[in-house]
Amino acid sequence: MTEVGHRPVTKKWITGRYGIMEKKNILTYEGLQKLEAELQDLKVVKRKEVAQKIKEAREQGDLSENAEYDAAKDEQRDIEARIEEIEKILKNAEVVVEDEVDLEKISIGCCVKIYDCEFDEELEYKIVGSTEANSLQGKISNESPVGKALIGAKVGDSIHIETQAGILEYKVLGIERSN
């Protein structure tokens, strides 16, 4: 651990270009593959599609009042922004090898089964980096309040999490590999 100013900085941050600290993006192998596939699609397929739309809109004549041209340029800008975003994520990626996940305690890349004491129900989550988090798919970030509290917990542990909605209480029922 090093210090920047008076703040300790953990390995979650790496030095980027111009000495600016950039956040490491923790990804599962599945998340890495999805981002690489999306990047490939954007560069190979979507760029060509939008270039064709721009070409067709230019052929219609006056660009100053051409809605198709404006829409195609907006789409091109969005595609290029997403390409840049994905490239930045991948540049600072740290991939968790899920086969090597320690099943003694909760860590990124594992599936956890927990019991919600308040609502008397079992929940199952996959702990992932913030880039992959999607609560609708049962993927929670290691940086979320619940994710932070679960990291390092063992089967049988009771977890208390202070949130805006009040204190949540969970009991860890199981830890498994996600694949």
Give the C-alpha distances (Å, rounded to integers) separating 91 from 26, 73, 81, 118: 11, 27, 15, 41
d(CA 117, CA 158): 10
Architecture of domain 27-95: Orthogonal Bundle (1.10)
Q: How many CB atoms lie within 10 A of CB 119?
A: 9
Give the rounded distance of the alpha carbon of 108 from its chain centre: 12
pTM: 0.75
Task: Spell out the domain ranges in the chain.
Answer: 27-95, 100-177
Query: Which pLDDT score, from 0 to 100, does residue 12 have?
Result: 47
Query: Which pLDDT score, from 0 to 100, does residue 177 have?
Result: 87
Q: Which residues of the chain have pLDDT under 70?
A: 1-22, 179
Q: Evaluate whether 122 touches 176 at the Cβ level (below 8 Å).
A: no
How do residues 162-178 score in pLDDT, each as one tens digit? 888 889 999 999 999 87
Q: Evaluate whether 153 touches 106 at the Cβ level (below 8 Å).
A: yes
Residues across the chain: 179
Burial of 45 (0-12, 13-18, 19+ CB in 10 A): exposed
d(CA 39, CA 163): 36
Q: Which of 172, 117, 151 is nearest to 12 (CA)?
A: 151
In the CATH hierarchy, which fold is given to the domain comprising 100-177?
Chitinase A; domain 3 (3.10.50)
Query: Which pLDDT score, from 0 to 100, does residue 11 have?
Result: 42
167-11-155 Cα angle (round to 5): 40
Kindly state the DSSP code that residue 42 receives in the 8-state scheme: I
